[in-house]
Amino acid sequence: MKKTFTLLLASVAFSVSVFAQPTFNPVEKGNKQAGLQMMLSSTDMYGSWTALSINDDEKTYGLHVAGSYGWFVERGWMIGLQTNVGFYHDEFATKEQWGYQQDAFDFSIAPMTRYYFTIDRKHRFKPFLFAGLPIVYSQQSTDYTQSTTTDLDREYLELRGTFGAGAGYFGKAGSIELNVSNMGFYIGVNKFIQSRKK
């Protein structure tokens, strides 16, 4: 009981410290930001997404994450890089011996830019716009158990464009954000690093 109470107290203290009011403007010129996001819903840019569903006939699982790092070159304006990686597996079979297996793997790297809008003095909530040019490598395959159905294999490398919007809630140590674009719908966390210049 004492151990559980100690863990609960430590969790609350950590949450308060993370989401306390920032002591500085996190999007000030010279600051940096590192982030990690997870895709919640996909679009046509990638063949992989985050999923988990297992039952008698179907097994579906996948994970798609993105990491980013950026520098604030002006107040509110960040430039940086984002890397996405993901996999997806979907397997379906019935008692009538019909089914398929679908697999996908994606990797991309994108120069990107964001602009954060300041709407309050405490620097807690900041909507933003972003754009990027992802170079996407994707490998997808679908194998059918019926011999009359043609299996599909696809592999490509292409340059895509992306534009989207999101919002971040900033605390003392970082932020939580949601964003949406033609790359997908993401939830993420960011750690910001204050410039040492005074």
Structural domain boundaries in the chain: 2-193
State the DSSP H helix or E strand holding residue 14, giving kind and residue range, or none if neither.
helix 2-18
Poorest-confidence range of 36-40, 48-52, 110-114, 161-165? 48-52
Token readout for 85 is 């990686």
Please check the confidence at residue 100 and state whether its pLDDT lies above 60.
yes
Round to whole Å and give the CA distance between 16 and 21: 9
**What is the Cα–Cα distance from 172 to 9, expressed in whole angstroms?**
19
| CATH number of the domain located at residue range(s) 2-193 in this protein | 2.40.160.20
- How far is 133 from 29, CA to CA, in rounded Å? 23
pLDDT digits (tens, 9 = 90+) for 5-14: 455 545 444 4
Answer yes or no: pTM beyond 0.85: no
Are 47 and 88 in contact, with CB atoms under 8 Å apart? yes
